[in-house]
Chain A
């Protein structure tokens, strides 16, 4: 005997049960941590010093603090978006260049790997020394962190173009640039979009981590988190961290939707 098919309401309920349980566990653990940490509420103001409980997250955040968080969010957002745009353009260009010949790939690949595996905290001070604590330097750090997934996925996507489609183009007498525009780049789009999705998350990390090294100029989210940490202002620190997470999640979801739209004809 088979059970009757679930109604729309039942399906939605089932889909929400899992995330609701996990969220409840996390919030419960958060409360437990806030109220069991030694000295968490030892300050004279009574505000949490290390981990604020969820319902007291916004305590101690006045208009000035909100203003600082707003400026920092704008700076980090602008850095992430500009960095991601440049990383995407640079990554696609590198992928296309490497796909043109195995010799170029062999020449460039080891250097790209080297840049990718070098910790950004090693490179950032050098970049700041060379470029100064400028917006360009912040963006450059973001590009260095974020370009690799796009470059490698572009190369991978172009290399796995269906051989018979290449044959169709060759027989029709299509040149390199026509093949690139009408076959290779469109065919590599699913791989490129997957790379951009990963790079989007990295761009946010790059903008925030790189920010730790910028002692001059307006603070981005990374620098502001450090400031609130040193000032033992747990509430503003958590709010700033959540904004950084929110930017990362928004980027990821946005590019997942863009990919879904761009690739809607690929498969069912």
Chain B
């Protein structure tokens, strides 16, 4: 039995305009576990992530957030145009007052995401993939135990996305942080997650939970195995994409 690091207990969220985004959602994310949340567009996946981050509160049920360092990575990378990669990566740690050996940690984080040559460049000088790498480095520099990903690779081209998925899998294998991954991409969910929660249309409810029993080491070859295709098919079936 894994210890839950983040728990949604019968969570519901209705907005002031009476739009009901979530109803009776129960999910537990274990230590070092990455749970992918997939579901139709507009079903409330990002609302779930905002609840996990403490940026919003449920209107029913409860969210038990761990008292651990938490980072978030958004699709739009959210880098500050007036700061270099180095200073963008240092930002969250600076804000949290976590400045012990920050320079070294920033350099290490930038190296881990393969951005050494761009450490003193500004966001305008980076490609979309490089910006996302910088956002990943910023999330990881605080040595988080929980990372929340909101469709992090959704705006990237296919090849860059696959490369970054491999990099993220390697970073997780090394650092062992827990996480929630919001994504539209079934293959991305299967490749990165330990478990996939499928949400139904709004108001979102959990319609299926699928364990991903692939090799713990996720490299590019995993995508071409029969088991990978099998799990993808299960998720697609739960989403109603195939019958």
Contacts and interface: CB of A to CB of B under 8 A. Distances in A.
Interface of A: 162, 164-165, 167-174, 178, 182-183, 186-187, 189, 265-268
Interface string B66-98: 000011101010101110000000011001100
A187 B78 contact: no
Interface of B: 50, 53-55, 70-72, 74, 76, 78, 80-82, 91-92, 95-96, 122, 124
Nearest to A179: B95
Contact of B78 (A162, A173, A186, A265): A162
Nearest to A268: B124
A122 to B, nearest CB: 41
A174 B124 contact: no
Contacts of A170: 54-55
A101 to B, nearest CB: 18
Given A178-B95, A265-B122, A266-B124, A171 B78 contact: no
A265 B96 CA distance: 25
B78 A164 contact: yes
| For the complex of A and B, 5 pairs with smallest distance between CB atoms | A172-B95, A164-B78, A265-B122, A164-B74, A174-B95
A260 to B, nearest CB: 14
B53 A267 contact: no
A173 B76 CA distance: 21
Contacts of A265: 81-82, 122, 124
A186 B81 CA distance: 9
B94 to A, nearest CB: 8
Given A167-B74, A172-B91, 14 more contacts: A164-B74, A167-B50, A167-B53, A167-B55, A168-B72, A168-B92, A170-B54, A171-B72, A171-B92, A172-B96, A173-B96, A174-B95, A183-B80, A265-B124
B5 to A, nearest CB: 16
B76 A266 contact: no
Contact of A171 (B55, B82, B124): B55
